[in-house]
Copies of this chain bind each other. A is one copy, B any other.
Amino acid sequence: MKTESFFLLKLQAPDRIGLLASITNLIAKHQGNLVEVQQYTSTLDKVFFGRLAFEISGLDKIEELKKNISLLAQEIEAQWTLRDQSVPLKTILLVSKTNHCLADLLWRWRSQELNIAIQSVISNHEDLRSEVEREGLPFHYFPIPQEAALKEQALQQMAAMIRRESAELLVMCRYMQVLPAWLCEEYKNRIINIHHSLLPAFVGADPYRQAYNRGVKLIGATCHYATEQLDAGPIIHQEMLRIEHFHSLNDIRRLGRDCEKLALARGIRFHADDRVLVYDGRSIVFGD
């Protein structure tokens, strides 16, 4: 019987003297042993951001700690989460027709590189069904009609399914649809998207073609939270590589895939390990 567990406390609050002391005191008082503390204070915004990983034994102690954190949080006006690290995040992937990010994430998930539990895969096309099902995962086909009312209806059904599965994280793996504002709001900072450019350059459709036409010497991919506004959400991670004049558009697409896979996988990892906090459209990432 496991009696020792790792917990992740993530919080942000208006900065004040003694803030970190109060929090670490509380954890010490409950015999929690800090193994990783990351703190950042935005001196500009006067906001404190922290992530504390600690081990603690006994279920009763953690319940009591939780209650006390709640009390402290009220006092210091903090937003916070406390998570048992041994419980992976319930995650649903959304795909369209290209499979490079999907295949990469499936491998990392099976290899336990990511602290997520993939529940199922949603797609607006049937193309990747067999690739998903051979992993023993449910594949949900939700075609997205063009017509507005029908589209809204399809998205509502999709959202209902997402809620039924109690998904905690949605990952758009080159899912070629824009999610509606109400879904972005409902899953605020819990929908991760990969865009195949170094945002804010080349927003919108076919960014590699835009990059090729502009003649840039560096391309890349951006992992960010989806918001109502296209490609404008908080950036979690970016990867880039150097290209040369002899790279055709197809070469750029091929090379870019490696950036996309890596940027998305790292972004998901940071999120799933509670390493990302968002403030004022920018992300604080206590990376690893």
Contacts and interface: CB of A to CB of B under 8 A. Distances in A.
A25 interface: yes
Contacts of A15: 33
Given A216-B200, A245-B285, A17 B40 contact: no
A196 interface: no
A116 to B, nearest CB: 15
A233 to B, nearest CB: 10
Interface string A108-138: 0001010000000000000000000010000
Given A214-B235, A216-B238, A238-B217, A113 B254 contact: yes
A20 B34 CA distance: 8
Interface stretch (A159-167, A186-194, A276-284): A276-284
Each complex incorporates copies of this chain amounting to: 4
A66 to B, nearest CB: 18
A39 B35 CA distance: 9
A271 interface: no
A218 B216 contact: no
B216 A199 contact: yes
A28 B35 contact: no
A280 to B, nearest CB: 9
Contacts of A237: 217
A36 interface: yes
A228 interface: no
Contact of A234 (B34, B41, B215, B283): B215
Interface of A: 15, 17-21, 24-25, 27-28, 31-41, 43-44, 99-100, 103-104, 107, 111, 113, 134, 198-202, 213-218, 220, 234-238, 240, 244-248, 251, 254, 258, 262, 281-285, 287-288
Given A39-B39, A200-B201, A251-B288, 17 more contacts: A17-B32, A18-B24, A18-B25, A24-B24, A34-B41, A43-B248, A99-B111, A198-B216, A199-B214, A200-B202, A200-B216, A214-B282, A215-B283, A216-B235, A216-B238, A217-B236, A218-B238
